[in-house]
Each structure stands twice: as structure tokens, then as C-alpha cells.
A and B are shown apart, each in its own frame.
Chain A
Amino acid sequence: MSSERTMSFSSNGTAVSVRGLNKSFTIAHQAKKHSTLTEAILDRVRHPFRRDERETFHALKDLSFDVKQGEVVGIIGRNGAGKSTLLKILSRITGPTSGEIDLYGRVGSLLEVGTGFHPELTGRENIFLNGAILGMSRAEIRKQFDAIVDFSGVEKFLDTPVKRYSSGMYVRLAFAVAAHLESEIMVVDEVLAVGDAEFQRKCMGKIKDVATGGRTVLFVSHNLASVTSLCSSCLVLKEGALAFVGAAAEGAQFYTDSAARWAREDRRDLRLCRASWAAPLIQSARVLGADETEQACLPAGTPLTIEMTFETPVDQPLRQPVMGAVFHRSGFGTVCGVNTRMTGFDDATGSQTAGTMRCTLRRPPFLPGHYTVDLWLGDGPGDSDVLYGYLSFELEDADVYDTGRAPFRDMGVIFLDPEWDFQSRSSGTLPPEKKPQTSSRQSHHLPILP
């Protein structure tokens, strides 16, 4: 198994040692969950001898790994794989259920910016408060104060309550405090890199400084590109267990290869996604990439196919099968919907009792992010079967314009293919033109990559 490999050691000495780490949560069943003391007491009085039925959820299962000093470790995994729980245990926000962790150095955790910021307090007051909350002593904050203010660029507003800050200023100040935490071991969640594209670049640059400055960093990311560019090694988590330990590039490859398989393995029950009135006609559905294989993760702007198969009782054929797909982007809402009637398509006319229908988008204009798809199967003007949110896929950053510059990830949901036009109206003689730099591909970067 790939996980038998050891991590690449950049220097001697262990920074983090994890042995047999388990974390489980007890979930009381919904009907017996008490949120008020009165309820809990009354229930105890009514049923003095009943034991609550509880279910144990294992968030982390028997993790063991070591991180060497100075190593930058990426932690990747799908939502719910246990990444955040691992970070919370390493930063001691919550305790393990069993297992041992030894940390050889002070741990600083950057899981969220602006924790403990108070809107009524001024920027200056918040720097001291937030610094203390993150574990800095007053002396340390004083020492770093100028650097923090400088990095945030809000020196003019230091004595203004932060509630009057723009959201950008707020985030910049918050990140600045967090970024100046000096500890031997840093635990970082990538969602930390926030704000506008320019500041994100600055954030990622700072994270990179931290990473290359000899400190040990554990870095949770959802972006494989930043893992491969920042990290020396990586851990892949799957349902709370370690699925891979090794070099960053191999880990990213392992994750890409496995993601579609995992998505298939734990694909949700068709019935759960089906609208209550719908007939169970859709038998299966999947997302295919450019190479016609099933994918959970695709580069933005590359061909994407939604495929579904249906089957009807022999005596109730669909007289005119219609396929529809509605795309939703997580955190943004519905993006767009298409169906064969609307866009015009008549290859599937005539009565059908079974078939496979496909919808291919040659260049889907969706920005990188997580998407879910609702599937519709209709019979002429009527709806027959619907699956809400049954399919999902992840679009990754990609050089969609072939310019080395990616579209702004969080500016809306789609990217456009504009045609620009320029007609010069300058007159007279102009100063000699500077030779434009054409072959500087290296200096162009995707906005969120350092």
C-alpha cells in the first residue's frame, strides 16, 4: 500500500509525531436530543432507566504519521474526510478520543482570520486582543506591531473602530495579525487566503515565506496546485483514515486518480435524491471528462459530459424523452439549466423504454469550484423523474485563456470569452515604444498561486 512510504525528510528531528489517533463523536439520536436542561431532566424523570440510543461517528481512524522539522505537509481530502478535525486536534481546540500526539515546538494555528475581532474596538486594540487570542504575549505583539500594521496597510485607520472598516480592510488586518504569529509549528487552513485577488496573492506569498522559512507547516488545502507548489510532502485523508503518505506531487496524483472512484463508491442513494412525486426511471448517472472516463475533478473550461440512463416499464414507454440538467455552484446558487426541448434536439424522438442520454458541454464557462447537478427526465411536456443534486464535480483552476492568467475565482460563477476591439485615435508622432515583454511566461501567474 502506498501509505507504507515514509515522508521525505528535509532535516533530522521530528516536529510532530502522531500515534494511533482516533476521534469519535457521539451523536444522540434526533428524537432524544435535548437542547434544554428542563427537557433533559423531564425525560430522565419519565424514563429513569432507559439508556439513550447513541451512535458513534468516527471522524478520525487510527492515524499515525510523523512530520520532520521544516517539512511543509499538505493535507488533502474531500469534504468530511477529517481534515479540519485533524487540524483542530493538532491545534488543541478539541481533544483526541484516543492516541498520542507529541509536538516538538509551539503550535500556532491559522484556521480562520479575525477570530475574536470585536467591531467596537479600534484596529490597534484588535491587534492586541487578536494577538493574545492567537497565543502571542504582549511583548511579542509590541515587537511585531509595526510589521503587522505595515502588512495590513490600514495605518491610517488604526484608531478607528473596525466596524467602520470595509470588509477588505478588516480581512487584511486580521490576516496580518495571524501571519505574524511566530511559532515553530504552523497549522494553516488555506481558506485563510481571502480577500481580493491581489491580497490573496500576498497571503499565499506570506504562507510560502512561512513554509520556506524553516518552520514546520501543516497545510490543509482544497487546491492541488497550491499543495504541489508549496508542500514537500502530503497526507491524503479518506473518511478519517490515511489513504496516502508521501511526496506532494505523488499525493496530488493519487488524489486525482482516486477522487472519481471514491465519489462512485459512496455515491448517494438514488432514492434520496428523487423528488417525492417522481417515477423511478433514471437508473444511473455520471460525470465524464474529455477522455470519456468518469471524473470527480476536472480542469475548468474542458469538455464535460453528463450522462444518464433510464428504463421504463415496457407498457409505459416515454413517448418523447427529454433530458434536463441544472447546474448549481456551492455557495453561489443555481448557475444555469438546459434541456433538450429548450435547446432543440430530436434524435431521441419516438417511444423509448430504455436509453442513455448525454449532455456534453464543449467549453463549460464555469469558474473553478464545487458544482452539483440536478437531473431531469421528461416525457414531452411532462416531468417523469427528477434527481436533485445527485451528481457533483469539482472544477480546478486552469489556464482557460491560455495566457497564464486564470479568471478571478470568486468573482461570480462564469468566465466569458470576450472579443476586444481597439481603434487608435492618437495623432501626431508618439515617443518610441518600449518593447513589450512577450516571452515572460514565467512572470505570469495564476492569481491565487504564489
Chain B
Amino acid sequence: MTTTSIPPAIAEPFTKIRPHSGWAALNLPEAWKFRDLLFALAARDLKLRYKQTALGVVWVIAQPLMAAAIFSFVFGKVARLSSDGVPYLLFSFAGLLGWNLFSATVTKCSGCLVGNSQLISKVFFPRLILPLSTIPSVLVDFAVAAAMMALLMAIHGVAPGWGILLMPVWMAVLLMLALGIGLGAAALAVPYRDVQYIVPVFMQILLYASPIAYAISAVPEHLRSVYLCNPLSAPLEAFRASLLHTAWPGWESLAVAAGFSAVVFLAGLYAFKRMERQFADVI
């Protein structure tokens, strides 16, 4: 086979290409170099959402508002569950605010590789940019819905307490968990397309299995320890408590949920990087 003799190179190579292995592939400095791409992709998603839609931004508010109205009717009026003394609409809207942050991240992340298969097979960039680029648009939606929340609270004369300062913490816990699941699902969806159909079903189940339309206190006592195994329970409840002075989940369950989210996040990241090298070959 060919071996051409060359004088030894003086400069260090700009890029070294080697077969990938495990964590070595997690090249964060490289991902940072591509930050402009992250924002360009996020900007694309946002622009597309508001182009050729009659209602545009209205949907971002209308969707949780309608869901909250239905939840208030079913759980507040029909089932007559307790909402810890706040108007039921506020109660369920606050739950949905946290939930949508989580579910939108999972859904968008899990579809980002298959949805951009054209890019993956034709251009190089750190693949991690794709799932990360979904976050800005999720956060914009969150901000719009949060403004609606503030309006609703003002209408009902509910003022948040100091607890609101902890909101970013709960958001971070929810986002970590969502990214962990989303990254894993995105990587799995490359060889197995049915992951895309499983995710929505999974999210539908999780919506009712988490304290969004009702409070943890409405769950029968003897089931509560099982219920708290859902890592979403504690952060969602804490999220709502920060806004509306509702009951706080225990600190232990919050700590466990935060720890669990961190583990899921790292596991998702690892799975994503492990499978990254195959993306272009399989997709």
C-alpha cells in the first residue's frame, strides 16, 4: 500500500481525526466554536413558527390556557379536587407552565436528528448543537406563557412570594431531566424510527401521572410514596409553590429528583455521544 514519505510537520495539526471513543467525543470547546450555528438554527425555528400562521404567538398562550380551562373544569368543578386555596385556573396554568417547558424540550429534542437528517448527512458540525438549539425557542415560548401567567395572577390578585427566586432552580431541574430523555430518544430515533411515535404516548401518560392538573395532596396517602417516584412530581410541585404559595414538596424528594435528573442528563449525553459517530452512516 501507498506510503508517501514526507518531511515531518512543523505545526500542530489544526484538526485531528481519530476513531471516536466514549467520552473523548464530548468535545465541548468545539461545540462552543459553533455557537453561531446554534443561534442560527434557533432563529430558524422561531421564524418558521411565526411565518404563515394566522395566530402565531397567540397559540403559545392559547394552548396552555385552553388546557388549563379544561383541567379546571374537570378536576376543579367535576371532581372537586383541592387546589390549595388558589383559583383552579391559576393552579393548573402554573402546572402547565412547568410541564410545557419539560414536554416541549423532550419532544423537540427527540425529533431533532431525524428532522435534520439532511444536514447530518451533508455537513459537519458538533451534533450536540441540534438538540441544544431547540432550547432557545422553548424558552421564548416559556417567557410568553409566563407573561400570561403574570397577567392571570394580577387579575386574580395573587402575588408571588420570595419563593419565586427559586424558579430558575426548578426550571434547571426540569430542563436537565428533559434534555437527558430528549438526547437519549434523539439518538435512539436514528436507527429506530418508532421512537418518534412512542415519545408522544409516553408524554401523554406522564401528563396525567404528574401533579399538573391536581396537587400531590389529592393523591391517596398510601400511594404517595410510589407517586413521588415520578421524578417530575417534586420539581413541578415546587415550581407551582414558588409562584402560588401552594404546598411545598419535601426537600428530600426535591433533592432526590434533582440528583436523578442530573444522572438522566449525563446518561442521555453519554448515549448521544456514543451513538453520534453512527448518525451520518445510519440516518
Contact = CB atoms under 8 A, between A and B. Distances in A.
Chains A and B bind each other: yes
Interface string B14-41: 1111111000000000000010110111
B19 A96 contact: yes
B48 A120 contact: yes
B114 interface: no
Given A94-B280, A103-B13, A129-B40, A17 B6 contact: yes
A62 B123 contact: no
Nearest to A85: B281
B188 A103 contact: no
A93 B14 contact: no
A408 to B, nearest CB: 27
Interface stretch (B67-75, B145-153, B193-201, B247-255): B193-201
A210 to B, nearest CB: 18
Contact of B123 (A103, A106, A134, A137): A134
Contacts of A37: 188, 192, 194-195, 198
Contact of A121 (B48, B120, B191): B48
B124 interface: yes
Contact of A132 (B17, B20, B40, B192): B40
B1 interface: yes
A125 B16 contact: no
A101 B18 CA distance: 7
Given A93-B280, A94-B280, A96-B19, A12 B123 contact: no
A131 to B, nearest CB: 8
A35 interface: yes
A13 B10 contact: yes
A125 B45 CA distance: 12
B44 A103 contact: no
B125 interface: yes
A260 interface: no
Interface string A65-104: 1100000000000000000000011111111111111111
Nearest to A185: B14
A217 interface: no
Nearest to B6: A66
Given A66-B6, A95-B19, A133-B119, A104 B14 contact: yes
Contacts of A137: 36
B188 to A, nearest CB: 7
Interface in A129-155: 129, 132-138
Contacts of A10: none
Interface string B264-283: 00000000000001001100
Interface stretch (A109-117, A277-285, A385-393, A428-436): A109-117
A416 B184 CA distance: 59
Nearest to B10: A13
Contacts of B277: 94-95
Nearest to B116: A116
A245 B14 contact: no
Contacts of B47: 120-121, 125
Contacts of B157: none
Contacts of B6: 6, 14, 17, 66
Contacts of A63: 2
Contact of B52 (A13, A99, A120): A120
- Specify which of A35, A38, A63, A116 lies most central, judged by the most chain B CB atoms within 10 Å of its CB: A116
Contacts of A128: 40
Nearest to B13: A102
B32 to A, nearest CB: 12
A7 interface: yes
A91 B2 contact: no
A414 interface: no
Contacts of B43: 129
A105 B280 contact: no
Contact of B4 (A65, A109, A112): A65
Contacts of B195: 37
B118 interface: yes
A223 B123 CA distance: 24
Contacts of B34: 135
B3 interface: yes
A17 B9 contact: yes
Nearest to A126: B44
Contacts of B222: none
Given A95-B277, A103-B15, A35 B193 contact: yes
Nearest to B119: A116
B283 to A, nearest CB: 10
B192 A7 contact: no
Contacts of A92: 15, 17, 124
Contacts of A36: 192-194
Contacts of A90: 17
Given A93-B123, A115-B123, 18 more contacts: A34-B191, A35-B191, A37-B195, A63-B2, A64-B1, A93-B121, A95-B19, A96-B17, A96-B18, A104-B9, A116-B123, A121-B47, A132-B37, A133-B119, A133-B123, A135-B125, A245-B2, A245-B4
8 contacts: A3-B2, A14-B9, A17-B6, A35-B192, A62-B1, A92-B15, A103-B13, A241-B1
Instruction: Please give me the 3 A-B residue pairs with the lowest Cβ-Cβ distance, nearest first.
Output: A132-B40, A102-B13, A37-B192
Interface of A: 3-4, 6-7, 12-14, 17, 25, 34-38, 40, 62-66, 88-107, 109, 111-112, 115-116, 118, 120-121, 125, 128-129, 132-138, 161, 184, 241-242, 245
